[in-house]
Amino acid sequence: MKTVIIGGVAGGASAAARLRRLDESAEIIVLERGGFVSFANCGLPYYIGGVITDEKSLTLQTPERFKSRFNIDVRLKNEAVKINPGAKTITVKDLNTDRIYDESYDSLILSPGAEPIRPDLDGADGDTVFTLRNIPDTMKIKKYIEAARPRSAVVIGGGYIGVEMAENLNRLGLDVAIAELGDHLIAPLDFDMAADVHQYIRSKGIRLYLNNGLKEIKGKTAVLRDGEISADMVILSVGVRPETSLAKECGIDTNSRGSIIVDENMRTSIPDIYAVGDAVEVKNFITKAEAFIPLAGPANRQGRIAADNIAGIASEYNGTQGSSILKLFDMTVAATGINERSAQAAGIDYDKTYIYSGSHASYYPDARNMSVKALWDRKTLKMIGAQIVGFDGVDKRMDVLASAIRFGAKITDLAGLELCYAPPFGSAKDPVNMLGFVAENIAAGKIKQFFWHDIETLPRDSSVTLLDVRTETEVKRGKIDGFINIPLDSLRERIAEVPKGKPVYVHCHSGLRSYIACRILTGMGYDSRNLAGGWRLYESVINERQVPEYICTECK
């Protein structure tokens, strides 16, 4: 049995190693157009920023190690230029010698990945304009920085790679700006969760141009839809597209985006040809809709599944959940499942809540709060998404939530999880448990919620009571118009100040004290509602909405 794999990064390398472990007698050939195999794409920004100092550490395997450990024939700078399905051969060009040859196969795995989108705009191909996808791209950027000593940079696109590049260029001492077409950074987040990210990244000296796309590049000026930015270098990070021209040319079915269509076994429309990684269409694990979600973890799993099926082991890929995480200086941003925009687009009747909990016990030094948002199906209570923005401990909470979603847990199931606890690591009531407790109360009707986006339309007349239960000191630092202040610890004594017979909308800083206030009010016969996320979330979102798009006055 002879298997040829086109593409030696992530999915391709994973498939090759798995296939060898399953079949010692198989002939396995990996054709890689580039000069590296199995390299760490996700580490590239950190090499540019000097966090990773050894170039060799970016390469997880070499052809020599693949040969000695797995007996796999890895051919670097060998480009597959044509697939001949009828003859079951591949036409290959050896880029080292320009020799053209044919290679036969019994099974073929396509793992061509995705390529950076380079907008068709004037100046986008300039000498100081870069994209980042592979090691040669990385070396080109690093050499430019070392030789030209740029003082400023603009990153076009506020996704994961764009934000990571902005951080690392900032660490090198460059004046950095990010221009993003959407209204917030990190697309998997909702705007309300991204607000904290925006405020934090601005505090690090990185300027944001939101709702502002690139029109053209004139020399060292990035011309935006609204305004201009002067910069010594431009990083284009506006997304990637599947690199599937080879598949299309041989008749393999692709979708409107260009992604290769595969079944649950990673088989394409042509027998004995499989496809994995960023080039394939996947099913969204939550909505079951067709999706393009280019992530390393799913690519590796798909490579393993393709190898299993080639070796005769029934194995299925059951969708991509979109679990992702980002380091931003000291901040951690993580998401899994779908966000509100996706839930609305899918027609899901969902509910949501927020908590603001410590990374570990408050009495142990250096505890820091994290902002957590969870979404669930209102009818089934099954979790459909979660987002966390914070610092220490974000990663482990998100991994628990991602696992819960993968195994079909209800949001209320989180209350019963027995998680590891010691003061340096967590709290006896972990933030994950707290999400479950809050959802239990909502599902049982013990608490009603309202949200930051409801506040503007709340009546400011005698038909409702708007109640702020924070301390007087907190209120002096900022308040919501129309809310009267009765601190929680005074509520019972001053309950006569709250008229009966009409709804009471209550808020505190994070939603905890206002929940207690709502329980007091409910126990006394009031109809109360708690502001999910509290003043802290409301202030963060409203302040962000009031920040004007940054326009360089020097460039107008």
DSSP 75-112: EETEEEEEEETTTTEEEEEETTTTEEEEEE-SEEEE--
Rounded to 5°, the CA angle 279-284-288 comes to 125
Banded model confidence at residue 378, pLDDT cuts 50, 70, 90: very high
Q: Please check whether residue 428 is in contact with residue 402, taking contact to mean a CB–CB distance below 8 angstroms.
A: no
What's the CA gap between 31 and 4, in Å, rounded? 7
Instruction: Quote the pLDDT of residue 36.
Output: 84
pLDDT in tens, 491-510: 999 999 999 999 999 999 99
CA distance 179 to 196: 18
Say what the pTM is. 0.94
CB atoms within 10 A of CB 70: 19
Tokens standing for residue 337: 């499942």
For residue 377, what are its two tokens? Answer: 């199906």
- For residue 366, what are the CA distances in angstroms to 370, 393, 420? 13, 12, 19
**176, 164 in Cβ contact below 8 A?**
no
In terms of Cα–Cα distance, which of 233, 226, 217, 224 is closest to 122? Answer: 217
Q: Is the dihedral of CA 133, 137, 143, 144 positive or negative?
A: negative
Helices (H) and strands (E) in the chain, counts: 14, 30
- Binned at pLDDT 50, 70 and 90, residue 53 comes out as confident
Band (302; pLDDT cuts 50, 70, 90): very high
Rounded Cα distance between 52 and 2, Å, is: 38
The Cα–Cα gap between 92 and 33 comes to: 10
CA distance 175 to 204: 11
Q: Is the pLDDT of residue 339 over 60?
A: yes
Alpha-helical runs (H) found in 235-329: 245-249, 296-310
- 457 token code pair: 């339309």
Residue 156 has φ and ψ, to the nearest 5°, of: -95, 105
Taking the alpha carbons of 316, 321, 322, 324 in that order, is the dihedral positive or negative?
negative
CA atoms of 5 and 20, how far apart (whole Å): 13
Band of pLDDT at residue 548, cut at 50, 70 and 90: low
pLDDT tens-digit map of 60-74:
778 898 999 999 999
Beta-bridged to residue 234, according to DSSP, are: 129, 154
A 10 A CB-CB count for 36 gives 20
How many other CB atoms sit within 10 Å of the CB of residue 192? 24
Residues in the chain: 556
Share of residues in the chain with pLDDT > 70 (%): 98
Integer CA distances (angstroms), 457 to 242, 452, 466, 495, in order? 44, 10, 12, 25
Render pLDDT for 184-199 as a digit per residue (tens, 0 to 9). 999 999 999 999 999 9
- Which of 42, 250, 420, 508 is flagged as catalytic? 42
pLDDT band at residue 397, thresholds of 50, 70 and 90?
very high
Is the separation of the CB atoms in 497 and 483 below 8 Å? no
Mean pLDDT of the chain: 94
Q: Strands, E, within 105-213: which ranges?
A: 107-110, 114-116, 129-130, 152-156, 175-179, 207-209
The C-alpha atoms of residue 82 and residue 456 are separated, in whole angstroms, by: 60
CA distance 128 to 158: 19
Is residue 145 pLDDT above 80, yes or no? yes
Cα distances (Å, whole numbers) of residue 468 to 72, 79, 452, 512, 538: 67, 66, 14, 12, 13
Q: Residue 199 class from Cβ within 10 Å (0-12 exposed, 13-18 middle, 19+ buried)?
A: middle
Pairing of strands 114-116, 528-531: unpaired
Q: Any catalytic annotation for residue 552? A: no
Q: What is the mean pLDDT of residues 136-158?
A: 95
Is the CB of residue 332 less than 8 Å from the CB of residue 390?
yes
